[in-house]
């Protein structure tokens, strides 16, 4: 059987999409629809089951299933005849993905992507799974079609049961009365003990494989260290960060991190690179540098930024979403090397192959090498009689040769849509790097990025989810608004431009009006005016990306302090306190909530810097690690409540350290201010 190539086929409806993932499927012989009224109406009118196939552009097994099944004319014929087939980009429509992922897990199936879910015409799911080989997929399609015709009442009852499960809120199981909670160090100690018990003492990270980065776990431990001075907490973070940048999960030649490592040693990554991981890792490595001054941590941020600006940046300052794991249909081909390729590229006397752990027979599969940094520097220095500086010079020169050679290869696919939430995460990463390194390049890029967001993704009083040549029709989700507000709060603290706080305030009021559920006291993932799906979800658990509710709750707490809005602070404390049991018992999946818990327990110092040298003093202060502070200031006058009556009238620069709006005596040196903070 032969299939025509995509260039010989007429495109399907996906050709009109803004999603790079959907466009990849635009020449499939499957009559794909985007999610929307056209497809859903057709299913009802023709009384057909709906197939929803969910993936994303850098998903390896999504590509495999497309090649094997969705490009197959015979399989496509079955799909077109018996189903209404809908393709969903999970990054553009995380609301749909959340619902049907939970549904598949409720069916006792493993979750993952591609996610293939069968619905009745009322959008209620009755069967699903992930990747299916072509023969299995064809057999399943025929079985589902037969069952839908012959056992319809059983299917509809099963679908109704799953819908009822989806509509049950997680909060009913995990919340308790807020007046029972005291924010105490004991709770933080419990969180630390659990994380310590799950820690991989050899390789860092949480002890399992595959191994994900989970940045907020390590950001929580840095704050725990700041409160308790428990050296084991700092060791856990430092070991994890060092092992990650020595492993294959980190691109030794080009910079930037892959999504996860398939093993427990950070060695063999799943080679896709996601913007959201790298945004958060910039924050994490910058904060770790502020404590440790470990130059490897700073180099990692600098190299990651070099990759982002080289390969992931729109000309006007937005950042693209992801790089594929595959090139030429092979996972990792772009990033890995045979011994012959290394030998051909590097000088004869180079020690770089040894430095990066390469072997003649390959250290990975198919005779290829994943470049890693072995802890073999001292051995190389002795064996080759060279000094440390000469070694670093040689490695640096050879890295550039390898990067140049690698750039000639066929590149992995680029998902060049710009997502609001992921970009505003990157703004926070850039701001944190600017604070730690005092390098204005990072701030310039953050300002360029927010300018892009405001130009292309905010319109008619709404935030939109995605941009590719134009913004998508989908309004932003809670994630997008939450990270946008966080980015404005971050930008204010490093510029003292009050316009950023005004915008943060306006969007906070918008979110409270359009996303907040007065009944449960938390935020919906989708706007109250968004398209009604079969369930309305609230995102509570922190994962690789922190839960949008935890980000919003921290926003409420921080803005409540900065803008003197006591009701916002109280709301944040109430939201955190009702989840204390699950925060204490599952810190791996409540780590951003844990950070908020630490902030409330410790108390946030309001550091007010006023006077003509306010900017200089702010920059010096931010290079230190003080996570339980919010920074305000002005060189002249200000309308902010916390700055009223605190102008430096004698021409000197003054620092006020305040807790709960009560300020200590103003001081004129950073050293004195730090004593007051501590």
For 2-36, what is each residue's pLDDT tens digit?
344 455 689 999 999 989 999 999 999 999 999 99
Residue with the bigger pLDDT between 495 and 383: it is 495
Residue 436, domain member (yes or no): no
Final residue belonging to a domain, choices 358, 375, 408: 408
Q: What is the pLDDT of residues 321-335, one digit of tens each?
A: 999 999 888 999 999
Beta bridge partners of residue 663, listed in sequence order: 658
Residue 441, domain member (yes or no): no
Q: What is the pLDDT of residues 531-570, one digit of tens each?
A: 999 999 999 999 999 999 999 999 999 999 999 999 999 9
> Residue 181 pLDDT more than 80?
no
> Residue 51 pLDDT more than 70?
yes
Q: What is the pLDDT of residues 593-646, one digit of tens each?
A: 999 999 999 999 999 999 999 999 999 999 999 999 999 998 877 888 888 877
β-strand pairing of 466-468 with 418-419: antiparallel
Q: Is 506 helix (H, G, I), strand (E, B) or coil?
A: helix
Range of the domain at 341: 335-408
Residue 202, domain member (yes or no): no
Final residue belonging to a domain, choices 385, 408, 431: 408
What does pTM read for this prediction?
Answer: 0.95
Residue 63, domain member (yes or no): yes
* Cα gap 90→99, rounded to integer Å: 11
Q: What are the angstrom distances between the C-alpha of 637 and each of 287, 400, 642, 647, 666?
A: 31, 49, 12, 7, 17
* Cα gap 214→647, rounded to integer Å: 42
* Cα gap 369→360, rounded to integer Å: 9
Number of structural domains in the chain? 3
pLDDT of residue 2: 36
Residue 208, domain member (yes or no): no
Residue 62, domain member (yes or no): yes
Helix axes 152-166, 134-150, angle to 10 degrees: 110
pLDDT band at residue 180, thresholds of 50, 70 and 90? low
The long-range contacts involving 76-81, CB below 8 angstroms and separated by at least 24 positions, are 76/28, 76/29, 76/30, 76/31, 77/29, 78/138, 78/141, 78/142, 78/145, 79/30, 79/31, 79/51, 79/141, 80/29, 80/30, 80/31
Residue 341, domain member (yes or no): yes
Q: Is residue 210 reached through a cis peptide bond, with omega within 30 degrees of 0 on the bond before it?
A: yes
In which residue are the tokens 């037969």 written? Answer: 146
> Residue 173 pLDDT more than 90?
no
Residue 404, domain member (yes or no): yes
Q: Is 378 helix (H, G, I), strand (E, B) or coil?
A: helix
Q: What is the CATH number of the domain that holds 149?
A: 3.40.30.10
Residue 204, number of CB atoms within 10 A of its CB: 25
Final residue belonging to a domain, choices 381, 408, 435: 408
Query: E-assigned strands of 33-151?
Result: 33-34, 50-55, 84-89, 115-119, 125-129
Residue 311, number of CB atoms within 10 A of its CB: 17
pLDDT of residue 178: 64
């Amino acid at each position: 059987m032969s299939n025509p190539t995509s260039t010989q086929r007429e495109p399907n409806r996906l050709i009109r999409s803004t999603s790079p993932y959907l466009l990849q499927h635009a020449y499939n012989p499957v009559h794909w629809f985007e999610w929307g009224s056209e497809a859903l109406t057709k299913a009802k009118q023709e009384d057909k089951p709906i197939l929803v196939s969910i993936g994303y552009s850098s998903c390896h097994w999504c590509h495999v299933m497309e090649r094997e099944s969705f490009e197959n004319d015979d399989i496509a014929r079955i799909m077109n005849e018996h189903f209404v087939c809908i393709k969903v980009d999970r990054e553009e429509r995380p609301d749909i993905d959340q619902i049907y992922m939970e549904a598949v897990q409720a069916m006792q199936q493993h979750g993952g992507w591609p996610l293939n879910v069968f619905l009745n015409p009322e959008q209620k799911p009755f069967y699903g799974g992930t990747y299916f080989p072509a023969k299995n997929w064809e057999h399943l399609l025929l079985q589902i079609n037969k069952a839908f015709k012959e056992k319809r009442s059983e299917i509809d009852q099963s679908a109704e049961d799953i819908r009822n499960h989806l509509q049950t809120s997680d909060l009913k199981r995990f919340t308790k009365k807020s007046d029972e909670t005291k924010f105490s160090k004991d709770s933080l100690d419990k969180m630390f003990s659990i994380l310590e018990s799950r820690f991989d003492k050899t390789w860092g990270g949480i002890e399992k494989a595959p191994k994900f980065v989970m940045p907020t776990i390590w950001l929580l431990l840095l704050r725990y260290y700041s409160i308790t001075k428990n050296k084991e907490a700092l060791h856990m973070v430092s070991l994890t960060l060092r092992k990650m940048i020595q492993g294959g999960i980190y691109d030794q030649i080009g910079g930037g991190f892959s999504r996860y490592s398939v093993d427990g040693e950070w060695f063999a990554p799943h080679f896709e690179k996601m913007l959201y991981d790298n945004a958060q890792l910039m924050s994490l490595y910058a904060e770790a540098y502020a404590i440790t001054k470990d130059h490897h941590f700073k180099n990692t941020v600098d190299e990651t930024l070099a990759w982002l600006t080289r390969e992931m940046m729109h000309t006007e300052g937005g950042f693209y979403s992801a790089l594929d794991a595959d090139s030429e249909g092979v996972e990792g081909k772009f990033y890995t090397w045979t011994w012959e390729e290394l030998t051909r590229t590097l000088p004869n006397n180079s020690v770089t192959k040894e430095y990066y752990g390469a072997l003649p027979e390959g250290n990975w599969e198919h005779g290829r090498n994943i470049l890693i940094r072995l802890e073999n520097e001292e051995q190389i220095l002795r064996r080759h009689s060279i000094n440390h500086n000469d070694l670093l010079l040689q490695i640096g020169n050879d890295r550039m040769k390898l990067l140049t050679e690698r750039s000639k290869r066929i590149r992995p696919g680029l998902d060049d849509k710009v997502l609001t939430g992921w970009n505003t995460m990157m703004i926070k990463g850039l701001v944190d790097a600017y604070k730690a390194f005092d390098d204005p390049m990072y701030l310039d890029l953050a300002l360029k990025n927010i300018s892009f967001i405001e130009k292309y993704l905010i319109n008619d009083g709404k935030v939109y989810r995605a941009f590719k040549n134009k913004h998508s029709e989908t309004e932003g989700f809670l994630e997008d608004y939450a990270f946008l507000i966080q980015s404005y709060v971050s930008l204010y603290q490093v510029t003292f431009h009050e316009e950023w706080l005004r915008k943060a305030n306006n969007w906070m009021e918008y979110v409270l009006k359009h996303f907040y559920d007065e009944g449960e006291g938390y935020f919906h993932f989708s706007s109250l005016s968004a398209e009604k799906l079969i369930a309305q979800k609230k995102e509570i658990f922190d994962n690789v990306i922190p839960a949008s509710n935890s980000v919003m709750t921290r926003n409420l707490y921080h803005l409540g302090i900065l803008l003197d809005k006591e009701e916002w602070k109280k709301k944040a404390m109430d939201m955190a306190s009702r989840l204390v049991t699950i925060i204490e018992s599952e810190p791996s999946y409540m780590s951003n909530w844990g950070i908020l818990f630490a902030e409330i327990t410790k108390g946030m110092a309001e550091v007010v810097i006023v006077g003509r040298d306010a900017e200089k003093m702010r920059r010096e202060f931010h290079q230190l690690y003080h996570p339980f502070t919010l920074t305000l200031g002005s060189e002249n006058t200000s309308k902010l409540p916390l700055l009223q009556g605190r102008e430096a009238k004698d021409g000197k620069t003054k620092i006020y350290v305040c807790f709960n709006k009560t300020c200590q005596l103003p001081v004129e040196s950073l050293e004195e201010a730090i004593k007051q903070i501590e």
